[in-house]
Amino acid sequence: MTVFGPKRRGTARILSWNVNGIRAIRKKGLMPFIERARPDVLCLQETRAHKHQLDLALTDPPGFSAHFAEAEKKGYSGVCTYSRRAPHEVHQGLGRPKYDREGRTLITRVGALTVVNVYVPHGAGTRRDNSRVPYKLGFSRNLYQRLNRAKRAGERIVVLGDLNTAHRAIDLARPRQNLKTSGFLDEEREELDRWIRNGWVDTFRRFEDGPGHYSWWSQRIGVRAKNIGWRIDYILASPAAAPYLRDGFIWPEVAGSDHCPVGIDVDKAIFEP
């Protein structure tokens, strides 16, 4: 689709973007992006700031309710959800301190839709030795269990954010070279497989089955221009939410972060009881 193209009549737009620092992206044009993209819900990951460090444009943007989940460690992790409709329920975390202290989960109930903003841990570890893979898988499994009962009960749910996993070989430019790299390990891909097998819909693949579509690129010079990337940012829809999908897209033209925004357009009725 055309970036910032018009939404179809009767649809709402839900976007997700790992911004690699909300204060940095603010200086690079976050507010003009919001004005042009016109999201109804915008989920940001890797905000890397505490709320008191942000200006009013970020904490109280005109026309939006803003909610934050912060990491205990300064300058690390964090997620934020902006919604044009004020949520009537907001939950931070999964109820597990070992995961919640990193500020990776924010669950908001917007009308009849539950929006789950997540920043899944990377498994590589500080020494690039895949030492954080067990922590990553534990986080993902706890998230799955946290949502499974509501999904089985027929609730409308979208899970969106940086999942830090390329699901299939088509989802990264160089799969054979990355078989032992966190983000494309068998056990990480199997965890995402489990979601799909149990009814969650990869919304982008509902509308696009071709190669070459990525949402993250290394910051090494020339990598993004050559489109040597990974698709690690997703929006997953529960079976009850999937019928409301009208489009799924990635916007690689949007700069400012090593990730680009991903999104869906949905029938506005998704919010209604």
Identify whether 29 is part of a domain: yes
Residue ranges making up the domain that contains 144: 11-271
Q: pTM to 2 decimals? A: 0.97
Token pair, residue 141, equals: 């499994």
Q: Examine residue 236 and state whether it is found in any structural domain, yes or no.
A: yes
234 forms beta bridges with: 161
- The pLDDT score that the predictor gives to residue 3 is 66
CATH number of the structural domain spanning residue 27 = 3.60.10.10
CA dihedral defined by 134, 139, 143, 145, rounded to 10 degrees? Answer: 40
Q: What is the pLDDT of residue 2?
A: 47
Inside any domain, residue 155: yes
For residue 174, tell me if it sits in a domain: yes
Average pLDDT over the chain, rounded to whole?
96
Per the domain annotation, does 5 fall within a domain?
Answer: no
Residues with active-site annotation:
162
| Diameter over CA atoms, the chain | 49
257 within some domain: yes
Contact 233, 259 (CB under 8 A): yes
Residue from 179, 204, 176 nearest 264 by CA: 204
Distance CA 134, CA 132 (A): 6
Cβ atoms of 239 and 198 within 8 Å: the answer is no
Q: Using alpha carbons only, what angle is made at residue 140 by residues 139 and 142, rounded to the nearest 5 degrees? A: 65
Q: Which pLDDT score, from 0 to 100, does residue 27 have? A: 97
pLDDT in 10s for each residue of the chain, 273 residues? 446 767 888 999 999 999 999 999 999 999 999 999 999 999 999 999 999 999 999 999 999 999 999 999 999 999 999 999 999 999 999 999 999 999 999 999 999 999 999 999 999 988 889 999 999 999 999 999 999 999 999 999 999 999 999 999 999 999 999 999 999 999 999 999 999 999 999 999 999 999 999 999 999 999 999 999 999 999 999 999 999 999 999 999 999 999 999 999 999 999 999
Residue pair 264/203 in contact by the 8 Å Cβ criterion:
yes
Establish if 1 belongs to a structural domain.
no
Count of structural domains within the chain = 1
Core vs surface per residue 141-164: b (16+ CB within 10 A) or e: ebbbebbeebbeeebbbbbbbbbb
